[in-house]
Structure 1
Amino acid sequence: MTGDNAVNIGSPQPPQKADVLARVCAALSAGDADTAKAIIDTDYPMVIGTKAQRRYTLTETLRTFYRDGFLDRYSGTQLIHPGALRTLSMLLPKEFPAHLNGKMTETHFAQWELFPTIDHVDPVARGGADDASNWVTTSMLRNSAKAHWTLSELGWTLHPPGDARHWDGLSSWFTGYLTDRPDLASSSGYLRRWLRATRVVQAERA
């Protein structure tokens, strides 16, 4: 058989997950628990992962951000260096607030929408590796939405990385601004940590 309506008998489609559970229910209704268990084990097995670990350092985090061009790999949106976001919130506390505990009513939405984080493409809790090959840059917003789901389960695609030579998430502005204003840098341990790590990565890439 040929044409658009052809059926590829040699490549059967995987069973629909709802259909798998429907067959399990049918087996249970028939009093056949062994068959129900076998159906689950074969067509919808339990995947046992491990507790998610966060092993990356601040420097490794920034290397990932630079590698991905400060681009949200799940949405294609340009993101902003965390230090730059915090600097803006300190300079413009009324217009661009950032509550230290993330209180929604006292935090500008950019602190979630444009704040870069590392996510595991294949969730660690479901067996994914916790190493750079499985790390991607995404916003805090998208990271929270993805949680422990896979891209295929969410219907998401992975965007290609950006180029940090063209967009560095305002990293250069952040380091330059604080270099010229050491009093501001010394006023915040958060800024100092990000500044040190950023300078290390910038030196590596020079």
Structure 2
Amino acid sequence: MSHIDILLEALDKITHNQKDSAVKLITTNYKHVFQEYESRNMSYYEKLKIFIRDGFIDRYTGKKLLFPNVLRILSFELGDVFPYHPNWKMSDCHIAYWEMFPTYDHIVPIARGGKDESSNIVTTSQMMNSSKSGFLLEETGLKIVPGGNISDWDGMISWYINYMSKNYNNISLGDTSFKAWDKALRKCVEEKIIT
């Protein structure tokens, strides 16, 4: 019996004042499984290590992603042509932030029983992360594609380092996320995670 058939039968039972039968039907055939889990926030440094591991490739689409501060520099340099909004308000923020800003996703969501460990985490775009949400891969039709090689595509980190070496004093580091990504990158360079 398909899930829709189970729900239709439950609705029929409710229509005929057979709520107990509807409860039994759902409990037996389409039971909700509660998951207890602890969520955590990864540091910018931990996230960046994942992006570097995956070669700044969206592991659901294979598309190239950019080091976050590269997008921010575009906004800094181009202003209203490439707008940024701190809360990513879609009407006020260039769509590139959704398409090319890397984030991480749990392949099997924590809320669905997945583990909070590197083997269950992939790099993806904000757009794909939002569309996958708390669903399993088989529920979305998505597949995992191979990660990239950081020596082939570094998300424009090399460009960023060069740009910042010449323009550091011109960029406002007052923005906490810009500053945090910059600090995370410096730590990755210091630890030779990226060269």
User: Residue 82 of structure 2 aligns with which residue?
Assistant: 96
Summarize the alignment of residues 111-122 of structure 1 with structure 2, pairs less than 5 Å apart.
111-122=97-108
How many residues are paired up?
A: 191
User: Residue 64 of structure 1 aligns with which residue?
Assistant: 50
Query: Normalized against structure 2, the TM-score is what?
Result: 0.84
Per-residue deviation, 1:199: 2.4
Q: Which runs of no fewer than 5 residues in structure 2 stay unpaired?
A: none
Larger CA deviation: 19-28 vs 118-127 = 19-28
User: Residue 18 of structure 1 aligns with which residue?
Assistant: 4
User: Residue 33 of structure 1 aligns with which residue?
Assistant: 20
Q: 2: distance between equivalents of 1:30 and 1:98?
A: 54
Asked whether the 8 Å contact 1:47–1:127 carries over to 2, the reply is no
Per-residue deviation, 1:99: 2.0
Per-residue deviation, 1:204: 2.4
SS at match of 1:162: coil
Per-residue deviation, 1:64: 0.8
User: 1:59-79: CA deviations, max 9, x gaps?
Assistant: 110111111111111222111
Q: Is the aligned partner of 1:124 residue 2:110?
A: yes
SS at match of 1:106: coil
User: Residue 96 of structure 2 aligns with which residue?
Assistant: 110
Match of 1:136 among 110, 122, 142: 122
Per-residue deviation, 1:197: 0.8
Query: Normalized against structure 1, the TM-score is what?
Result: 0.80
Q: Is the aligned partner of 1:195 residue 2:182?
A: yes
Q: 2: distance between equivalents of 1:68 and 1:127?
A: 23
Identity fraction in percent? 37
Per-residue deviation, 1:46: 1.0
Paired residue type of 1:139: S
Q: Is the aligned partner of 1:153 residue 2:139?
A: yes
